[in-house]
């Protein structure tokens, strides 16, 4: 039996999504898992509410709303990618220490941090002038 046939047999054993609805269900399971298992994701999701409330309070323009929502999604998506990397690294290393595993995880975490700092900078650009005009 060649490698291709062996791989096909393994894939058959895992099974493929029979239809679109099954794919959506698995995607929703993924979202549920990350919210349940990743404290950072819950933290980002909660913090994301603050700029939305501020945007509502200061009656932001449509373009400002779009930029704010885009920044929130960017951080959330980076957290998804970070979690994927962490899981794949744990799968490959089987939780054994490896300098490359540390490098990969630290870089993935760095990507989340850079995105979060970028979003904070955008929030300051949008909200700081509004705060100043509103309160002073």
Ligand X SMILES: Nc1ncnc2c1ncn2[C@@H]1O[C@H](COP(=O)(O)OP(=O)(O)OP(=O)(O)O)[C@@H](O)[C@H]1O
Binding site for ligand X (CB under 6 A): 40, 82, 86, 93, 97-98, 101-102, 105-106, 109
Nearer to ligand X, 40 or 120 (CB): 40
Question: Is 37 assigned to a binding site?
Answer: no
Q: How far is the CB of 83 from ligand X (least distance, A)?
A: 7
Gap between the terminal Cα atoms of the chain: 77
Find where tokens 């970070």 sit. Answer: 82
Give me the least distance between CB of 105 and ligand X, in Å please: 4
DSSP code of residue 19: S
When the beta carbons of 29 and 37 are compared against ligand X, the nearer one is 37
98 is in an annotated binding site: yes
Interaxial angle between packed helices 49-57 and 62-93, expressed in degrees from 0 to 180 and rounded to the nearest 10: 180
Minimum CB distance to ligand X, residue 43 (Å): 10
Does the annotation count 79 as an active-site position? yes
- CA 25, distance to chain mean position in Å, is 19
Q: Which of 5, 37, 64, 79 is catalytic?
A: 79
38 annotated as a binding-site residue? yes
Tokens of 36: 């349940």
Which residues are known catalytic residues?
A: 79
Point out the annotated binding site for substrate.
Answer: 79
């Amino acid at each position: 039996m060649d490698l291709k046939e062996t791989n096909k047999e393994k894939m058959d054993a895992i099974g493929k999504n029979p239809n679109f609805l099954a794919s959506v269900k698995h995607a929703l399971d993924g979202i549920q898992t990350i919210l349940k298992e990743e404290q950072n994701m819950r933290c980002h999701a909660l913090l994301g509410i603050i700029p939305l409330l501020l945007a509502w309070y200061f009656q932001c323009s449509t373009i400002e709303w779009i930029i704010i929502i885009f920044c929130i999604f960017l951080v959330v998506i980076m957290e998804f990618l970070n979690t994927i990397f962490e899981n794949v690294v744990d799968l490959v290393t089987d939780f054994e220490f490896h300098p490359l595993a540390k490098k990969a995880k630290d870089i993935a975490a760095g990507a989340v941090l850079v995105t979060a700092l970028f979003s904070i900078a955008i929030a300051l650009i949008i909200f700081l002038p509004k705060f100043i005009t509103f309160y002073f």
